[in-house]
Chains A and B, each alone.
Chain A
Amino acid sequence: MNNLWAEPGNSRLVASAKSIQTDWLMTDDALKQELKQRGIIVASFEDILDWGYNWGRKNSLWPLQFGLACCAIEMIAAAAARFDIARFGAEVFRPSPRQADLMIIAGTVTKKMAPLVVRLYNQMPEPKYVLAMGACAISGGPFKEGYNVLKGIDRYIPVDVYVPGCPPRPEALLEGLITLQKKIAGQRLFGKDLPRHANPEAPAEYPVPAYGPHDLVPPSNPGVFCPPTPSRAE
């Protein structure tokens, strides 16, 4: 098992439980660095827990089987024989949101569909991730001019990875998946800067928009949707 987390060469793992006074070791970065060069990795109990937890999660992401439009065909192609998403542990497409970790928004989200997408997202158990696949899911894409097209699903739910393209090739989807795996690997369970699913202040559910007489009400969720203020270098 050792070589799973090994630096190249001969390495050992020094784990330290909270009860042992090792703070001097944990905070001295120069020392850590030196030890690391000699093949000794210093890690706290939390580090190991994080690492193991994330390693398990990132390599068995179960996507929700959920196709909206053209991009879904490329998603199926990514899952099928040639591209084989199983190589990245994400081949178990679940029909039920209750069993899924990852929502691949593959296609145009229309205003009529948006409340259902948000509801499905709410039904997924934490920790959960959203991958917006294709220009439409990101911003409305080619259909941005449409009256019934939501200009990006990030108006209602937080998106972790954006995969541009119209449609993105299956390789692009796989790249997005790898990006998400990297993101997951960097998430901490303890300390500051907690990810959304470990942060008690983050909302557990996102409000579902309602059908209005002209548009969805509200047209976006200000708690989620914060487009950067446009600025231009003079």
Chain B
Amino acid sequence: MSASSSNFFSGTADAGALEVSLGPHHPSTHGVFRMNVRMEGETVVKLQPVFGYLHRNHEKIAEKNSWLAAMPYTDRLDYICSGTNNWAYAVAVEKLAGIEVPERAEYLRVIVGEMTRLQNHTAFLGFILGDMGAWGSALMYAFREREKILDLFEELTGARMMLNYARFGGVRCDTPAGWLDKARAYLATYPAFLDEMEQFLTGNEILLSRLQGVGVLSAQRAINGGLSGPVLRASGVDYDIRKVDGYSIYPRLKFRVPRGEVGDCFDRFMLRLLEARESLKILQQALDQIPEGPVVNPAVKQRGFKPPAGEAYGRIEGPKGELGFHLVSNGTEKPYRYHVRPPSLINLTLLEEMCLGTKIADVMVILGSIDIVLGEVDR
């Protein structure tokens, strides 16, 4: 964090206004995110995000390589939730080429996807507490829990973080023997963790005063700003792509879509806790119903994959929001255009609106409550 007298914004600043560059190296900006903030006293009067410090040219690289080669790169978009990233890309390609997915693969995708959501929301709990100044303890608890899910991932896919699990028309590998039971056994212990966290946190006076009434966003603004996922639903909008699009096997599973009332940081925080509980329900049903069968459509040639010419937009409900891929094919083995619709970036559209008039310390909490990952913001 560096304060300077030079102004980042065009136009002249009033005397007495302080301009601060928060980031790109700042402990609470979740990576290399930068905000130029103008303050009067401690009140934010202008805020401008600056992007690109982690622009890794994902789209260009994907366009230079084969269709399948982009799959491991999607892991590195939102590196906390690689399971859902793969899935979204696979869904888009399947739309583009009209590929069927076998039952068991759909179930495995849902299982990995929902575990990813659990894991993301768990990590979120740790991070947002860190943003409020409770650096350390909450994160330790959250990561202790996250490690257990990562162990399951590792056994299933061979990697802790970068799963690279989905394939066009299925998933890469079947479960090892006994994995489903292990998953079931682990998930039975998870509610205890959530209860513990809720007990520690939701009644905590400091937490309430830091979160309630901060960064309020109306439903109408949230829709117009293109917000998605938990941030959108916290503003009271009933829009969950799992329900709306009914992709994969979600129509078969029973779960509820929690919604916020006020649209403040507290709603966004609580929404994650509630969503984690719904994910647990989905997981239990999926683990119970999963059928036997192949895990990948044998008709699809993964290497040298050539979808027909045309374009498609496929999307899923990622843990952070609507993760979509816009793909244009010209019938060759390389994508002509490969575009990611990153929920993290678009959820930041209204960051300034949420922050204006709040104190500078609340900016970090608001940013934390949106839950961004820089790999996806900048790609």
A binds B: yes
Residues of chain A at the chain B interface (Cβ within 8 Å): 65-70, 72-74, 76-77, 80-82, 95, 107-108, 110, 112-113, 116, 120, 142-143, 145-149, 166-167, 169
- C-alpha gap A229/B80 in the complex (Å): 38
Cβ-closest chain B residue relative to A77? B143
- C-alpha gap A110/B53 in the complex (Å): 6
A95 CB contacts on chain B under 8 angstroms: 26-27
Cβ-closest chain B residue relative to A143? B56
A145 CB contacts on chain B under 8 angstroms: 57, 60-61, 64
Q: Are A148 and B161 in contact, CB atoms less than 8 angstroms apart?
A: no
Q: Shortest beta-carbon distance, B378 to chain A, in Å?
A: 8
Whether B31 sits at the interface, judged by CB under 8 Å, is yes
Q: How many residues of B contact A (CB 8 A)?
A: 34
Q: Shortest beta-carbon distance, A126 to chain B, in Å?
A: 20
Q: Given A72-B31, A77-B147, A81-B147, do A113 and B24 touch, yes or no (CB 8 Å)? A: yes
- C-alpha gap A81/B150 in the complex (Å): 14
Q: Are B57 and A143 in contact, CB atoms less than 8 angstroms apart?
A: yes
Q: List, sorted by A's number, 28 A–B pairs whose CB atoms are closer than 8 Å.
A: A68-B31, A68-B32, A69-B31, A69-B76, A69-B374, A69-B375, A70-B162, A73-B161, A80-B147, A81-B140, A81-B141, A82-B144, A82-B147, A95-B26, A110-B55, A113-B32, A113-B53, A116-B24, A116-B53, A120-B25, A143-B57, A143-B58, A145-B61, A146-B60, A146-B61, A147-B57, A148-B56, A167-B161
Whether B73 sits at the interface, judged by CB under 8 Å, is yes
Q: Are A110 and B147 in contact, CB atoms less than 8 angstroms apart?
A: no
Q: Given A113-B32, A147-B60, do A166 and B162 touch, yes or no (CB 8 Å)? A: yes
Q: Given A67-B31, A70-B375, A116-B25, do A108 and B147 touch, yes or no (CB 8 Å)? A: no
Interface string of B140-165 (1 = CB under 8 A from A): 11011011000000000000111000
Q: Shortest beta-carbon distance, A188 to chain B, in Å?
A: 33
- C-alpha gap A142/B57 in the complex (Å): 11
- C-alpha gap A5/B162 in the complex (Å): 43
Cβ-closest chain B residue relative to A114? B53
Q: Given A77-B143, A80-B140, A142-B72, do A68 and B61 touch, yes or no (CB 8 Å)? A: no
Segment 107-158 of B: residues with Cβ below 8 Å from A: 139-141, 143-144, 146-147
> Could you say which of A70, A82, A120, A148 contacts B79, with CB atoms under 8 Å apart?
A70
Cβ-closest chain B residue relative to A67? B31
- C-alpha gap A113/B61 in the complex (Å): 19
- C-alpha gap A80/B143 in the complex (Å): 6
Q: Are B57 and A148 in contact, CB atoms less than 8 angstroms apart?
A: yes
- C-alpha gap A167/B162 in the complex (Å): 8
- C-alpha gap A19/B161 in the complex (Å): 59
A166 CB contacts on chain B under 8 angstroms: 162
Whether B54 sits at the interface, judged by CB under 8 Å, is yes
Q: Shortest beta-carbon distance, B126 to chain A, in Å?
A: 8
B56 CB contacts on chain A under 8 angstroms: 69, 108, 110, 143, 146, 148-149
- C-alpha gap A166/B76 in the complex (Å): 10
B64 CB contacts on chain A under 8 angstroms: 145
- C-alpha gap A74/B147 in the complex (Å): 11
Whether B52 sits at the interface, judged by CB under 8 Å, is yes
Interface string of B31-62 (1 = CB under 8 A from A): 11000000000000000000011111110110
> Could you say which of A66, A69, A76 contacts B54, with CB atoms under 8 Å apart?
A69
B162 CB contacts on chain A under 8 angstroms: 70, 166-167
Q: Given A68-B32, A110-B56, do A142 and B76 touch, yes or no (CB 8 Å)? A: yes
Q: Shortest beta-carbon distance, B28 to chain A, in Å?
A: 9
